[in-house]
Amino acid sequence: MTSRAPSAPPAPVQPLIERDVALVPRPTRRSVVAGTAFLAILRRDLLVTRREFGTFLVQMLIQPLFFLFIFGKVLPQIGFTQPGYAAVLLPGIVAMTIVTTAIQGVALPLVIDLGFAREIEDRLLAPLPIQGVAVEKVLFAAVRGLIAGAAIFPLAWLILGDNYAVRSDRIPALIGVMILTAFAGAAFGLTLGTIVSPQQIGLMFSMIFAPLLFTGCTYYPWGHLDSIRWFQIVTLFNPMTYASEGLRRAMIPIVPGQPIDDMLPYTWVVAGLGVTIVVFTVWGIRLFKHRVVS
């Protein structure tokens, strides 16, 4: 009579769900998850902009196009402006385009998202801190501002012709000022978008954009305001002044035949734009969290 050795007990069957989850690599830190969600939201916004790129350029460049044509082409040809004025005007137009595009890129969508429909809720459900949602909007708006500002240069070359003058030995400074300008406009737009209600969008354009443009040294250099000292001081409270003057220092070769030495120095430009970025980003994030957290 043969005896059978006792068989080993069967191994416990691992549940299907646990086995599948074990096969999926999971990030070990929350920062990885938050970074992935941040990039996914940014990629989605950039994809939407790419699909509507033609409409975006027309909307952002139609006003600068007419400013360049009238003030940089027509008025100099009929003798209403001094020679070299187009070189002074172009940096201000670039600054205006970057700032206004960045502001609108975050302020207008944010006013709608925080309105009655509360379309911001889908972004808040992402595994991302609330301040990360606000920072993504600032970064996206800054990218839009840089794209619109870069598009001004070929446009100005076609319109201004022989009056187009941009120095080529300060390209790094030019790029740096443009980046600071874009983030300053986006930070200001974040704060603006959290304050303004949907019913006040029209008031925002009339009460904020007009003073921002006409006191930001867009059409005139800051150093030539010595005869109107009080107005020269007022312009220092406008972030666009530092953007316009920084771009002039990086772009203007000579006007007319002599270098311009009475522009704001780079230290003032970096300080003015840097303070704008920090103050309005911190303020805007606080207001944003207050609006979305109930």
Q: Quick check: is 69 in a domain?
A: yes
Q: Quick check: is 25 in a domain?
A: no
Type of residue found at 74:
V
CA distance 83 to 20: 73
The CA-based diameter of the chain, rounded to the nearest angstrom, is: 123
Count structural domains, the chain: 1
Q: Quick check: is 198 in a domain?
A: yes
Encode pLDDT of 106-127 as tens digits. Answer: 988 888 777 666 667 667 677 7
Q: Quick check: is 10 in a domain?
A: no
Q: Quick check: is 230 in a domain?
A: yes
Alpha carbon distances (Å) from 64 to 25, 38, 89, 149, 189: 50, 32, 11, 10, 20
Q: Which two tokens stand for residue 129?
A: 């801190």
What value does the CA radius of gyration of the chain take, rounded to a whole number of Å?
26
Q: Quick check: is 271 in a domain?
A: yes
Domain that holds residue 130: 31-292
Q: What are phi and psi of 169, to 5 degrees?
A: -95, 5
CA distance 115 to 101: 21
Q: Flag the least confident range among 51-60, 112-121, 145-154, 237-246.
A: 112-121
Which residues lie closer than 8 Å to 265 by C-beta, 6 or more apart? 249
Q: Quick check: is 243 in a domain?
A: yes
Helix (H, G, I), strand (E, B) or coil at 200: helix
Encode pLDDT of 24-61 as tens digits. Answer: 455 557 778 777 877 887 888 788 878 888 888 888 88
Q: Quick check: is 7 in a domain?
A: no
CA distance 199 to 178: 32
What's the pTM? 0.83
Cβ neighbours, 10 Å, residue 142: 27
